């Protein structure tokens, strides 16, 4: 399983979490415990952009 960068929408912490395409994996922010974390796309990693 590969790991991708995910960003917490609550506290903004970015950490690596397991990622498997097409599979829902429960993830929790390691800093604040929120489960509102979103994958950070590599090409968007250095700019804040909503889609």
User: Which chain residues interact with Zn ion by CB under 5 A?
Assistant: 8, 10-11, 13, 29, 31-32, 34
The SS3 call for residue 44 is helix
Q: Measured from the CB atom, is 22 or 29 closer to Zn ion?
A: 29
* CB hemisphere CA count around 49 (13 angstroms): 9
Can you read off the two tokens belonging to residue 17? 């979490």
Q: Measured from the CB atom, is 32 or 45 closer to Zn ion?
A: 32
Shortest Cβ 44–Zn ion spacing (Å): 19
Q: Measured from the CB atom, is 43 or 50 closer to Zn ion?
A: 50
Is residue 37 within 8 Å of 8, Cβ to Cβ?
yes
């Amino acid at each position: 399983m590969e790991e991708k960068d995910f960003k917490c929408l609550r506290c903004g912490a970015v950490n690596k979490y397991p990622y498997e395409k097409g599979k829902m994996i429960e993830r929790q922010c390691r800093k604040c415990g929120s489960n509102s974390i979103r994958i950070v796309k590599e090409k968007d990693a250095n700019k804040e952009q909503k889609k």
